[in-house]
Structure 1
Amino acid sequence: MSSSAVHSFNKLLTKPKYSSKSKATEVDDDSNLKKLRRLILIEGIPSTSDPTLRPRIWKILLRITNLSSDKYLGYVSRGPCHDREKIRNDTFRTLATDKGFQERVREDMLIRLLDAYVWRNSEKQEDMNHLDFCYVQGMNVLAAPFLYTMPSEIEAFFCFAKFIEECCPLYVQPTLEGVHRGLRLVDKCLKIVDPELFAYLRSKHLNAELYAFPSILTFCACTKPLDQVLLLWDFLLAFGVHLNVLCVIAQLLLMRDEVMSSPSPMRRLRTFPDLEALPVIGIAVTLVRDLPADLYDELVRHPYEI
């Protein structure tokens, strides 16, 4: 990644922050956000050249404005939450094959963050608009990129909370409603963008529920390597997590020939190949243009609209 890309990001990030008192500043802030998204799409975040960039950008994209260490430490001080057994059943295997993750993120950090989140929401239920934010399958994997990326556990906690409550609240309900909506949308969108592949999978009695559940549940964080997952999440946080549906389809299209030539395609689909974020993002962006407006609108709304 060139030093010019680092300079472009840093120049944009040092501009005055948004002030609600000024309409002019509000317009300027929106303009800067569009520039930031464009840079992410064209250049990618040069995190190896400047490791501070990704955490700073993720906090901007998630609109993180309050990082209260007292609040987080207060939740942690309560000890194990009522979901601790379920949490412990998942945390030990979180990104277990990724050496870099295992070296940077200890299991106790993940357990502590998830315990704190359950405590936080046990006292906020009346404000959650009929949504239930107890611990559910997949939360451990969704928390992992934040713990890996953020400089502190406190920052990871508040980013994780904002992400699941505002970007994809239906994905973390006890029924996993958003996940099942996303899986149905994989089938709907695939039928339009590649009817031949869709028909072949259906002829083998395969739908997205059978082969795409982990990828939809975790926004592809279950697919190695982690550095490619982070690149994909840069894109999803910038343009919307709903696009993960198209990113899953993009991965299918990248292995299309192998799937179509296999008499038992589920063997190929059981484990997706290593993630290559840039080709996946490129295909996903192209697929947006192929979708009817009403279907794209459904795609946008599916992670959060009750």
Structure 2
Amino acid sequence: MILIEGLPEEVFQHLIRPTSLRSRIWKHFLGVYHVSANEYVHLIKKGKSCVYDKVRNDTFRTLATDKKFLERVNEEMLIRVLNALAWKMKSFSACENQSITYVQGMNVLAAPFLFTMSEIDAFFSFATFIQTCCPLYVTPTLQGVHFGLKLLDQCLQILDPKLFNYLKSKNLTAEIYALSSVLTLCACTPPLEQVLKLWDFLLAYGVHLNILCVIAQLILMRDQLLEAQSPMKLLRTMPELNAKSVINLTVQLVQQIPDKLYDLLVRHPFDPSVENALKNFTKKK
């Protein structure tokens, strides 16, 4: 249904919203079937985490130009969720021997959850999302994000050599123009309503597809980029997101990616071994 028709529109008039269909579906995709108010309150009562100041430096900027978001999600909600998550991640990192922490951009990743769900549901869904879908995206070095950016270059070179070579001639690699889009799963590109539709797709089929979604956006603005003397000016503010167009093109692009490269794409948000595999793939080319 998400791929063919998309979820039906839901309109909420108030800050305190009933449980939405999207909320229930996202929780199902993430395997979030139980939330604990006691655990959340306990984490909040722990007070300021070691990254509290970093959180406060980012939260006031979160989707600051989106009036609908600001009407439904206040800064205090974001602060509570992100600070509580820092405490939860501290214990998770110790148990799993992974270095997961608060990094810049997590505030934008949390935003769609808080816009769609109650605060408690958003907290547990976001925590599960970080732990299971893209733990390497929130390491101190953004390891998974940088894997994704390298994979974006590799995929674009295969999918659209002319566009890739043109951007390369302008010294533009994905590391330069696509960091925000990869790190936030396109949540930094308005409007938020379209971001939610794109996330329906990513949560249903895999967040790794975000790399191809970014490429789809590039291809959709291909003519403008190829004609531009300074394509970075266009890439600095991507055109407004059209989820349906991006999803339809992404599905087509998937079929054109070699199996070995696609395997790396699938694993890059959570598997550290992708780094060496990617080096070997590049050498063989």
TM-score (normalised: structure 2): 0.91
1:42 aligns to 2:4 (yes or no): yes
Query: What does residue range 45-84 of structure 1 map to in structure 2 within 5 Å?
Result: 45-48=7-10, 52-84=20-52
| 2:44/2:80 contact within 8 Å kept | yes
2:236 paired residue number: 270
Task: Provide the residue aligned with 1:89 in structure 2.
Answer: 57
Percent identity reads: 59
**Structure-2 separation of matches of 1:219 and 1:87:** 19
Aligned to 2:109: 142
Gaps of 5+ in 2: 13-18, 273-285
Counterpart of 1:112 in structure 2: which amino acid?
A: R
Structure 1 CA distance for aligned equivalents of residues 271 and 202 of structure 2? 18
Corresponding pairs, count = 266
1:121 Cα deviation after fit = 2.3
1:119 shift after superposition? 1.2
Where 1:279 maps in the other structure, the secondary structure is helix
Contact 1:242 1:302 in 2 (8 A): yes
Alpha-carbon deviations, 1:135-154, whole Å to 9, x = none? 1111111111000001x211
Is residue 281 from structure 1 mapped to residue 243 from structure 2 by the alignment? Answer: no
Give the SS at the match of 2:234. Answer: helix
Structure 1 residues 1-306: aligned runs within 5 Å: 39-48=1-10, 52-128=20-96, 130-150=97-117, 152-306=118-272
Q: Residue 45 of structure 1 aligns to a residue in which SS?
A: coil
Q: Specify the alignment match of 2:283 in structure 1.
A: none
Contact persistence 1:180–1:209 (CA under 8 A):
yes
4+ runs of 1 displaced by more than 6 Å? Answer: none
Bigger Cα Rg: 1
Structure number with greater CO (CA < 8 Å, separation at least 6) is 2
> How many Å separate the matches in 1 of 2:140 and 2:43?
22
CA–CA distance in 2 between the matches of 1:179 and 1:122? Answer: 20
Aligned partner of 1:10 in structure 2 is: none
Question: Would the aligned equivalents of 2:10 and 2:20 in 1 still touch at CA under 8 Å?
Answer: no
CA-atom RMSD, angstroms? 1.2
8 Å CA contact retained: 1:54, 1:149: yes
Shift of 1:48: 2.1
Contact map agreement 2:159 2:256 (CA 8 A) in 1: yes
CA distance in 2: counterparts of 1:290 and 1:124, whole angstroms: 37
Cα shift readout 1:253-306 (whole Å, capped 9, x = no counterpart): 111000000111111111101000000000000000111110111100100112
